[in-house]
Amino acid sequence: MFTPSVQHGLDLAGIFVFAISGALLAVRKNFDVVGMALLACVTGLGGGLFRDLVIGAVPPAAFTDLGYLLAPLAATVLVFFLHPQVERINRAVMVFDAAGLGLFCVTGTVKAYAYGLGLTASAVLGLATAVGGGVVRDVLANEVPSLLRWDREVYAVPAMVGAAAVALLIHAGRLNGATSGAAAALAFALRLLALRYNWRAPRAWHRRSRRREDGGGEA
């Protein structure tokens, strides 16, 4: 489906934009440069590490290709010197996170299928690739992962749509550079629209609690 060089380039692009979101979150949390580098690395590499371990691509690419380590470090340096004004950091985090989400749901699905998984399993692993690094990032930054928060805009759904679109393209024999880019753009756009219009996933049917945060009984 993709030549190794194209797959490699897409992986590095996803790692870089995800790593920027991790480093920006570290700035917002007032972490030092070590904390910035750590959040950049786990955000950029976490989902791909999980994917590679599941499909048996060991040792994972993050440990065999220097570029996979240099990409988040380069993102750290960029953010360290050129991060936006403080009041703009939160928006930048979400935009770069959405870009990484779009890229990784594509590359994760494609790589899983190339290693012999079925279309459904490949799409699921594409979703895990897209959201895994962000979950680890939020946990390390002492935040509830966006994936689990009902009061945040939908996060996993755009990645699901992008991964499903890739699986359908593979099934139809239509996956190429242009269509995969369109699938990534679709997931990216859906995430940005969710942020813009506050789209949220529904909670349990007829749930009676009026609490803004779930921490106890029902009101």
Residue 86 burial (CB count, 10 A): 10
pLDDT digit string (tens) for 47-81?
999 999 999 999 998 899 999 999 999 999 989 98
| pTM for this model (two decimals) | 0.83
| Distance of alpha carbon 171 from alpha carbon 43, whole angstroms | 30
Mind listing the pLDDT tens digit for each residue in 74-108?
999 989 988 766 457 777 778 888 888 999 999 99
Mean pLDDT of 6-35: 89
Q: Which of 47, 43, 51, 42 is nearest to 21 (CA)?
A: 43
Mean pLDDT (the chain, rounded) = 87
Measured CA to CA, the distance from residue 20 to residue 177 in angstroms comes to 24
